[in-house]
Structure 1
Amino acid sequence: MLQITSRLFIPDAELSERFTRAPGPGGQNVNKVETAVQLRFDAARSSALPEEVRRRLVHLAGRRADQNGVITIEAHRLRTRERNREDARERLVSLIRQALHQPKRRIATRPTRASRERRLQAKQVQSRLKQQRRRALDD
């Protein structure tokens, strides 16, 4: 079980891991041992997450999610399989925690009269400056 919050868990059955050879550090080991992990989570069909959290999660995942709602996280920063596995799981947990927070709806506001006047005043000052830079016409 992957614990997200005190009440939210993702069953291990909903996660799949695949190990591959990793690029980067590792010396001769990098050519022999499959230390990189590819963690896949089918967010669209997960029974552990509410519908709106699933939608936000797929949206937050961006390129890591395919059109079917399967999120793939690749971890190969570290040298061992176990540490890369933990890294991938931690990244998935943080992504799900982000999706749990419902963003506040933005309330459209209108600019105040004073702010509009300040903007227009600034435009007039800029216009005068540019007029002064022009070459004076000979009469």
Structure 2
Amino acid sequence: MTNPSFFPDERMWSYGFWKGKDGKGCYNTACLGFVQVSKEIPIVQPIDDLKPGEPAWWHCSIHQDKNTGNWWITRLISNPPHNVDIGYWPKELFNLFDNGADLAGVGGVVQASPFGSSPPMGDGVVR
């Protein structure tokens, strides 16, 4: 996400958003909800603030722990191969996912400032 009113600059940032019971939701760790567990990889960080040699894209898994019912986000890292649990959303946040889900979505939204038209979705590269 690039959003200078939400983040301190105009860089692209990773983020997490949840929407659960009663339509309530929150970004990152701005309110009670997402539980950050990784000390290595935060849920929110500038995309260009990566370690040398680290790709500028992420492969992640969102899955439900069968024992606790909590929803985990795990970063899948291929070189060297290892997975890092970033954190989880407690099952109590959601009222429709007691028995799992068939699909978890990841996406983006394009929205202009209040004074402009919406730009096209893309990677920021002018072609």
Bin for the TM-score computed over the shorter chain: under 0.3
Bigger proportion of residues as helix:
1
Higher relative contact order (CA 8 A, sep 6+): 1
| Structure with the greater alpha carbon radius of gyration | 1
TM-score (norm. length: structure 1): 0.23
